[in-house]
Amino acid sequence: MSELNNIALKILNNGKGILAADESTATMTKRLESVKVQSTAENRLLFREILFSASGMTEYIGGVILYDETIKQTTSKKNKIPELISTMGSITGIKVDTGAKVLAGSQNEKITEGLDGLRERLKDYYKLGAKFTKWRGVYNISKEHPSKLSIQSNAHALARYSALVQECNMVPIVEPEVLMDGEHSADECLEKTSEVIKRCFEELILHKVDLKGVILKPNMILAGNKYKNKISNEDVAKLTLKCLKDSVPSEVPGVAFLSGGQSEIEATENLNLINKYNDTNFIMSYSYGRALQQSALKFWSKDIKNIEGTQKIFNHRAKMNSLAALGKWSKELEN
């Protein structure tokens, strides 16, 4: 087994998943302001440090994705954030794209930027303690979208990013997110997501990326949020598995789903059913941001000094998702 494959498996094995704490300063500001907490560097660090030092980290979280600001911060106990994450038995990751911008030639679509200077930035992040990275491509669904241009451009960027990351001895998370915004059916989501993922892997292979040292972070197959009929959780699970079986090469060690607009409970329930029906060799786990943090954030905002109470809520959500990653979650356990 390669070193990269070992890292990928360590992040996802035994029901562990990924805490996506890589919100940009602008996104984190929105989150904090939504619960009436001032967004200062100190407050952003305080909330994240509370999560990173929670006991649930050791049991349920295999990796944490950080943002540039966070990976360079020092905790209240004067150690670096990657050191804290490491002492909790988890692996440090870093978001390395610089965001999605309007795609020239297709005004309603986005292309993710950040390849310029990436090789040098990766070396710096590696020195800071990062062992894996994340890059998100984003696609919208409509009658015309995603266009061939968007599918190809983002796949190419994800592949170039992945090759540079592996060159620096880190594991790339490949995140092609087909958004749930829109009026599309689940079948349309299945068709477009399959096309997007297949194209990504064609480019990864072309760029000589070692697929055994990659983690895929896809969306689940859902109907659009404006679609007239909501599909059952069983259908979400079955369509998602069909998509991955048809689109992902068998060498890929694991899949860590994004929660993408689902509620905390929905994201957990759907992951659980995916694992109940999982007849593949892929580890099916989670890489959740809001679906791991939202309840803890709401509780914390009422009293930002209540560390223990905030950690208790985070530990519970992490445990629920870990059980779902093993197909052992049930609604009764939520209470």
**Residues forming the active site:** 217
Give Cβ neighbours of residue 14 (< 8 Å, ≥ 6 apart).
none
Question: And the tokens for 321?
Answer: 């998702």
Task: Write out the chain in H/E/C secondary structure.
Answer: CCHHHHHHHHHHHHHCEEEECCCCHHHHHHHHHHCCCCCCHHHHHHHHHHHHCCHHHHHHEEEEEECHHHHCCECCCCCEHHHHHHHCCCEEEEECCCCEEEECCEEEEEEECCCCCHHHHHHHHHHHCCCEEEEEEEECCCCCCCCHHHHHHHHHHHHHHHHHHHHCCCEEEEEEEECCCCCCCHHHHHHHHHHHHHHHHHHHHHCCCCHHHCEECCCCCCCCCCCCCCCCHHHHHHHHHHHHHHHCCCCCCEEEECCCCCCHHHHHHHHHHHHHHCCCCCEEEEEECHHHHHHHHHHHHHCCCCHHHHHHHHHHHHHHHHHHHCCCCCHHHHC
Which residues are bridge partners to 66 per DSSP? 94
Question: And the tokens for 93?
Answer: 């990751």
- Orientation of helix 233-247 relative to helix 186-206, angle to 10°: 30
| Longest CA span, the chain | 53
Which residues are bridge partners to 171 per DSSP? 132
Residue labelled with tokens 């959500």: 317
